[in-house]
Chain A
Amino acid sequence: MRFLALAQRNFKEMFLDYLSLGLAMGLPIALLLILSPISKVEVMFSPANLAPGITLFAFVMLQFSSSMILAKDRDSALLSRLLTAPLKPKDFISAYSLPYIPVAIIQTALIFGIAALLGLETSGNLGLVFLVLFIMSLGYIGLGMVAGSRLTYKQVPYAYTAVLLLTIFGGAWFDLEVFGSGFQSVMNLLPFAHALDATRDVMVQGAGFSDVAVDFYWVMGYTIVFFALGIFLFRRKMVE
């Protein structure tokens, strides 16, 4: 468990950047509070529909933050030193991912806590909702590892913007059907729309696991692919 020493350092590095951390916690909540009054005229903005989209929006910040810390270390001599330690690529990716998992859990808890205060009602199993969101949070962190392993820290914001747009256009706070079937098909190739569909179906329609299994496996599959790709790209950077 040598990677835990590096994870501990990365946790501290993340924690010291309290402004980013505060924004990652505070911005989604602010957005939730700003958008929720629209639910009186548009059902898409009801707490049950809005909370999953806002949570994914919060996870995009994790993707940004995790990729930044990795890319910054890659650009500095510190990573050269760390790479001479007997750690494998998966150890590095674990060490850079691990600190963001508790943040994702706290973000989800905060957003759903506030949503509950705003009148969130659910017909299905919230545990299943949290499971899907947890796996999706890992997916975003995995995407952060892909970006951090491949891009310089100056390029990372572009990847962040792209993922943010894909998340929003994946249906974070509007119905994908308004864009037509072509656009919907493209967005359904990505995991974000599946995570949103699954969580909303559970909360709004009371769907069970078997009803959202396809969406669940899309999310799970992408998360695995993102981490595998992150490890692959990091391995290539280890010995150039």
Chain B
Amino acid sequence: MSNTTSDNRIAIQTSNISRNFGDFIAVNGIDLSINKGELFALLGPNGAGKTTTIKMLCCLLRPTSGTATIMGHDTLKDPIAVKQIIDLSPQETAIAEHLNAWENLSLMGRIHGFGKDEVKKRSEELLEMMGLRSRAKEQVRKYSGGMKRRLSIAMALVSDPQVLFLDEPTLGLDPQSRRSTWEHITELKGKKTIVLTTHYLEEADSLADRIAIIDEGNIIALGTPGELKDSISDMQVMVVKAKSLTNDAIEGLRKIYPEIKEVDGGIEIKAKELNFNEIVDYLRSKEVVIESTSQKQVTLDDVFLHLTGKELRE
């Protein structure tokens, strides 16, 4: 058994971890250090390398180079020891459709070596916590998407893992189910080390202690949500709601203010120094009818746009 992590406050440590698929570099030399009990979010667009990173940490993918340790156990040299203390709720809903919720939880608990009584007790708690108790005896293929997702998270918790990986836990859920899932994840904060991947800004912002913004396989920013937003706090964001906004007008404005984002019914302009009058005068000269202008708080999307020049949802 390896124990290479000297600082016992650290749950997950990666050193220059990379993964290539042929010529494509999915993850490019990531260094991470995640503390015990921390809820850490990997935030990035689809294809950024979030799931690949998680899979390497869960011993499902071999890194092309670099190393990773979970609670001091090397993921390559000692995968069984790593698997004893982790669990994963994959991006796709990973449940046995023909079994009921009890049986799904029992399956996961028992393959992790827990006895029947212990699994039953844990399952009762988890079904209660996830609001699935009343339908626990139904085949789970009859569940709604939100219920399946909550069961999927419960299945990752039944083994009482020290480190929990949640890969896009609310992907494809309606806003109400998403909120409900967030509440359940919030209940786990501080009790377990949680690594969550998401491309939802609000999710990372409201849940995570720290966020790593990942793009094209690289970590491009790392810090608490507040720190990340503060990193561009010297920036101003102006929202212009307007009719008849033309591409010509936007492109003309972009020559003065390169960071312009099109939003519903208008544009957002970000810069260190914004001259409101200049913007309004320019748009009017292009015969744009302005409905309103306002100043906006910096969001993580602004941070991502600032760092990469593109929107997170692109």
> Would you call A2 and B60 a contact (CB within 8 A)?
no
Chain B residues in 8 Å Cβ range of A16:
98
In the complex, B91 has a CB within 8 A of chain A: yes
Given A12-B99, A83-B60, A239-B62, decide whether A5 and B94 contact each other with a Cβ distance below 8 A: no
Given A9-B103, A12-B99, A77-B93, decide whether A86 and B62 contact each other with a Cβ distance below 8 A: no
> Would you call A77 and B83 a contact (CB within 8 A)?
no
Q: Report B103-116 CB contacts with A as 1/0, cut-off 8 Å.
A: 10011101111000
> Would you call B99 and A240 a contact (CB within 8 A)?
no
- Min C-beta distance of A99 to chain B, whole Å: 14
By size class, the interface of chain B is: 20 to 34
In the complex, A210 has a CB within 8 A of chain B: no
In the complex, B194 has a CB within 8 A of chain A: no
Chain B residues in 8 Å Cβ range of A87:
83, 111
In the complex, A175 has a CB within 8 A of chain B: no
> Would you call A239 and B90 a contact (CB within 8 A)?
no
Chain A residues in 8 Å Cβ range of B55:
80
CB-nearest residue of chain A relative to B62?
A: A239
Chain A residues in 8 Å Cβ range of B94:
76-78, 80-81
In the complex, B3 has a CB within 8 A of chain A: no
> Would you call A76 and B92 a contact (CB within 8 A)?
yes
In the complex, B155 has a CB within 8 A of chain A: yes
Q: Report A15-40 CB contacts with B as 1/0, cut-off 8 Å.
A: 01000000000000000000000000
> Would you call B59 and A2 a contact (CB within 8 A)?
no
> Would you call A240 and B61 a contact (CB within 8 A)?
yes
In the complex, B84 has a CB within 8 A of chain A: yes
CB-nearest residue of chain B relative to A4?
A: B110
In the complex, A84 has a CB within 8 A of chain B: yes
In the complex, B95 has a CB within 8 A of chain A: yes
> Would you call B60 and A239 a contact (CB within 8 A)?
yes
Indicate which residue in B84, B93, B111 contacts A5 across the interface (CB closer than 8 Å).
B111
In the complex, B10 has a CB within 8 A of chain A: no
CB-nearest residue of chain A relative to B165?
A: A84
Given A77-B93, A81-B88, decide whether A86 and B98 contact each other with a Cβ distance below 8 A: no
In the complex, A110 has a CB within 8 A of chain B: no
> Would you call A84 and B99 a contact (CB within 8 A)?
no
CB-nearest residue of chain B relative to A83?
A: B60
Indicate which residue in A2, A9, A12, A80 contacts B112 across the interface (CB closer than 8 Å).
A2
What is the CA–CA distance of A87 and B108 in the complex, to the nearest angstrom? 12
By size class, the interface of chain A is: 20 to 34
In the complex, A13 has a CB within 8 A of chain B: yes
- Min C-beta distance of B244 to chain A, whole Å: 47
In the complex, A82 has a CB within 8 A of chain B: yes
In A209-240, the 8 Å CB interface with B consists of: 238-240
> Would you call A85 and B108 a contact (CB within 8 A)?
yes
Chain B residues in 8 Å Cβ range of A4:
110
Chain B residues in 8 Å Cβ range of A166:
none
In the complex, B66 has a CB within 8 A of chain A: no
> Would you call B107 and A80 a contact (CB within 8 A)?
no
What is the CA–CA distance of A214 and B218 in the complex, to the nearest angstrom? 60
In the complex, A120 has a CB within 8 A of chain B: no
- Min C-beta distance of B228 to chain A, whole Å: 30
> Would you call B83 and A86 a contact (CB within 8 A)?
yes
Indicate which residue in A80, A81, A83, A240 contacts B155 across the interface (CB closer than 8 Å).
A81
Chain B residues in 8 Å Cβ range of A86:
80, 83-84, 112-113
In the complex, B79 has a CB within 8 A of chain A: yes
Chain A residues in 8 Å Cβ range of B84:
86
What is the CA–CA distance of A98 and B87 in the complex, to the nearest angstrom? 26
In the complex, A3 has a CB within 8 A of chain B: yes
Chain B residues in 8 Å Cβ range of A81:
88-90, 94, 108, 155-156
Given A85-B83, A86-B112, A86-B113, decide whether A9 and B91 contact each other with a Cβ distance below 8 A: no
Selected A-B contacts with CB under 8 Å, 19 pairs: A2-B110, A4-B110, A5-B107, A6-B111, A8-B107, A9-B96, A9-B103, A12-B98, A12-B99, A81-B89, A81-B155, A81-B156, A82-B111, A84-B86, A86-B80, A86-B112, A239-B61, A240-B60, A240-B61
Task: Pick the 5 closest A-B CB pairs, nearest first.
Answer: A5-B110, A77-B92, A77-B94, A86-B83, A81-B94
Instruction: Give B contacts to A, CB under 8 Å.
Output: 55, 58-62, 79-80, 83-84, 86-96, 98-99, 103, 106-108, 110-113, 155-156, 159
Instruction: Give A contacts to B, CB under 8 Å.
Output: 2-6, 8-9, 12-13, 16, 76-78, 80-88, 238-240
Task: Add 9 more A-B contacts to A84-B83, A238-B60 (CB < 8 A).
Answer: A2-B110, A5-B106, A76-B92, A76-B94, A80-B55, A80-B90, A81-B88, A86-B84, A86-B112
